[in-house]
Amino acid sequence: MARVRPQWPLLLAGVVALGGTNALGLTIPWLLKTTVDRLRALQGQAGAVEAGAVTARVAGAAALIAGAAVAQAIVRTFSRVLIFNAGRNVEYELRQDLFAHLLRLDPGFYRRHTTGDLMSRLTNDLSAVRMLFGPGILNVVNTAIVYVTGVWLLVHLSPRLTLMALIPFPVLIVTARLWSRGIYGASRALQEQLGALSASLQEDLAGIAVVKSYALEEARHAGFARHSQAYLDRALRLARARGSLTPLFAVIGALGTLIVLWIGGREVIAGRLTLGGLVAFNAYLVYLSLPTIALGWILAVWQRGLAAWVRVRDLLSEGPLEEAHPLATATPTPAAPTQMAMARSSSQVLSVRGPASPSAPALSIRDLGVERDGRRILAGVSIEVGAGQSLALVGPTGAGKTTLVDAIPRFVDVPRGCIFLDGKDVHDIPTRVLRQRIGYAPQEPFLFSATVAENVAFGLPDDVTGDERAQRIARAVEAAGLGPDLAALPEGLDTIVGERGITLSGGQRQRLALARALAADPEILILDDSLSSVDAHTEREILARLRPILQGRTSIVVSHRVAAVRQADLIVVLDEGRVAERGRHEELLAARGLYASLYREQLVAEALGAPS
């Protein structure tokens, strides 16, 4: 409810205006009562009453009633603008907060939630919340004001007739309470099914190429039809629950009117109630019947809004990664330069932004263990990488290589005391600062529907503009081996790559993601099998081109081709989540272990022309 508080001034002003609306509306029946009673009094006077006097009295009463009605319409409009705007402001602020919150959540959250469901919560659920805080609040407050003031006026006119007229209302309250529970359950079920429907649609559209390549159009259409039918069934169930309330409440309200006409007429005949009083009593009862009939709609809006708010609140309750609080940690303390780093810095080092190289941190991984869904991914992994050194991770599929590199920028959260940069626990470095120091090129890159240049420059700071921006993009593209491919693209760097880079090949997408990581000029560069879609020869060429760039920065290269990482300062072989071997290329070959076996298999595969 944090974002509702700033809207209280609008809501309070709207409630005040709503009170004025009802005060004017409730004045009209009293004016009718006064007019009718005065006319009856004139009829009962002895002698003839001038027609002009009657006309003047009627005209005066009509003018007052018309004036009250016009004023009520103006104030009612004002009250609706205030309260509805408050609801829209709540929706706007919640949408901003919710999206900002989603950006802070770790990747593990997105493995548990589908994109379609999140989109449904950001759109349909927030619209239901707006209805709750706009029309929902307006009608609840309006109903409360009408019932309190209306019943007081009815009692003032005739306590006995009021008691008779309100006999059906306990039935209405019990019915509303029972119906509201069913509406809440039906509303939540409908919104959850809408999330499932959105997720199915999003997946099919995103994977349309796969659907068509396997001729699965009919099968996927049948699946969508099942989701759509389930949504229709739940929508109809909710519509039946909501639709039955309005006629039910209308019937209950009509019973009160019948009682008033029957008993009220007898009261007038008996002289216990004036004719004007009966007219006003019926008018007030009609005034009460309107919110009574709308009570079904109000309950539906309220319950649907509450169900939506619970789903939104569930997202907001998801906690982001624990952030470092001390301000001093925002600027990492540089480590003393090692002899290797000093030697490298003294030479001319190629950088994507120029000759200067960043201060590379040392990386220390100590007894790292990671579990997911009850399954251990990593167990007791310890690795030391000096500042400016290169680490290569190899091993069979499922060995835990990606999980290990994901843990360094805290895409996978790990306990304290497991990962250190320059001796500082990554938990003590603000996540934003930590990730700005790391360039990450994943195996399955995500490209935005923008130009090649815009995708490469995605991670550049805002202050990098003009010629410097263009130079860094050009250097990064050339280093990633995309230069020859640009010549084949229609507009070179200005070519739109399409959604998720659909116009590019798998290898081009990976190299573009590599260029994006290089353009940011990070202190740590992580290549997670980011060249798996190119052939072994091209991979070796690109890595050779990257070797001068990797000097002066700490790098981690994950590759399923062991021949491509033979120049690394340290090679670690992972198997079933544990370190099986470590050392340099020659040492691991001499050990004749898993690394040597993988190396021989890939040499044979390359010689035979088979994919490695």
Mean pLDDT estimate for the chain: 78
Domain membership of residue 502 as a residue range? 444-521
| pLDDT band at 420; cut points 50, 70, 90 | very high
| pLDDT band at 351; cut points 50, 70, 90 | very low
More confident residue, 208 or 59: 59
Q: What is the pLDDT of residues 123-178, one digit of tens each?
A: 888 888 888 888 888 888 888 888 888 888 888 888 888 888 777 777 766 776 67
Scanning the structure block, which residue is given the tokens 């550049």? 460
- b/e per residue 448-482 (b: at least 16 CB within 10 A): eeebbbbbbbebbeeebeeeebeebbbbbbebbbb
The pLDDT of residue 394 is above 70: yes
The pLDDT of residue 577 is above 50: yes
Query: How many separate domains does the chain show?
Result: 3
3-state secondary structure 397-446: CCCCHHHHHHHCCCCCCCCCCCEEECCEEHHHCCHHHHHHCEEEECCCCC
The pLDDT of residue 294 is above 80: no
Cα–Cα dist 500/494, whole Å: 16
Residues 460 and 493 in one domain: yes
Residues 213 and 76 in one domain: yes
Cut 0.95: pTM above it: no
The pLDDT of residue 289 is above 50: yes
Residues 307 and 451 in one domain: no
Q: Is residue 474 part of a domain?
A: yes
The pLDDT of residue 385 is above 50: yes
- The 10 Å Cβ neighbour count of residue 137 is 23
Task: Note the pLDDT of residue 357.
Answer: 44
More confident residue, 405 or 530: 405
The last residue of one of the domains, among 491, 521, 551, is: 521
Cα–Cα dist 482/542, whole Å: 10
Task: Note the pLDDT of residue 209.
Answer: 64
Q: List the single range of 33-47, 53-67, 521-535 with lowest mean pLDDT.
A: 33-47
Cα–Cα dist 476/32, whole Å: 83
CATH classification of the domain holding 462: 3.40.50.300
Q: Is residue 345 part of a domain?
A: no
The pLDDT of residue 297 is above 60: yes
In angstroms, what CA-CA distances link 84 with 12, 51, 132?
A: 12, 48, 10
Mean pLDDT of 307-332: 64
Residues 30 and 143 in one domain: yes
Residues 284 and 384 in one domain: no
